[in-house]
Amino acid sequence: MQITKQDALLVIDVQNDFCPGGALAVADGDAVIDVIHRVASKFEHIVLTQDWHPAGHASFACAHPGKQPFEQVELSYGMQTLWPDHCIQGSKGAEFHPALHLPEAEIILRKGFSPHIDSYSAFFENDLVTSTGLADYLRDQNLTRVFLAGLAYDYCVGFSALDARRLGLQAVILRDACRAIDLDGSVAKIEAQFAQAGVALIESAALLG
């Protein structure tokens, strides 16, 4: 697959709290870093996203007495999975993994900083209305296809890919550059949505050949 000047690499949430030893660790999460480094040189445009929650965020189980992580509650914008406290602004857990080295990235986009609404996607908060500004940036740069890598495949990567398609962008997930949480069948569920929305899944070798 040929990378062009209209392509961007979105590197999603490769942060300490999502890697082994972190507060919301994704199994083998740090294994995505080497793959991301290998493909990054193919892209002129790279965007990093960073989960960036205030303490006591509405998506944290601690904000809901009697609730445990991974239970669900209904918030103003719909059902929300509750998470352990993670990626708290200014904390070590919110920092990018120290092995990730992408100084050529054009933007670091922080999301999830609104106290009362979560933001899985790099494009919209979980109300599917409030924009992060990423779509405007891509449009201004005439970027029409996004390749996605990072954590977690079945949440922030997947929601970003689906929103890209909703905005009329081509979306390609580098499957070996992602790792999943797979909570209650979340991988199968989101892959069904990928098939319906036209999200492509490839291995990084398709870019490196």
d(CA 46, CA 147): 10
What pairing do the DSSP bridges indicate for beta strands 78-81 and 170-179?
A: unpaired
Q: Which residues contact 20 (CB under 8 A, 6 or more apart)?
A: 27, 28, 29, 30
Q: How much helix, strand and coil, in percent to the nearest 5, is found in the chain?
A: 30, 25, 45
Contact of 158 with 193, CB cutoff 8 Å: yes
Q: Is 19 a known active-site residue?
A: no
Contact of 96 with 14, CB cutoff 8 Å: yes
DSSP per position, 138-173:
HHHTT--EEEEEEE-IIIIIHHHHHHHHHTT-EEEE
**Residue that the structure tokens 């490196």 belong to:** 208
> Which of these is catalytic: 19, 87, 156, 178?
156
> Which of these is catalytic: 85, 111, 118, 154?
111
Q: Is 111 a known active-site residue?
A: yes
Q: Is 87 a known active-site residue?
A: no
> Which of these is catalytic: 7, 13, 17, 118?
13
d(CA 129, CA 136): 14
Active site positions, annotated: 13, 111, 156
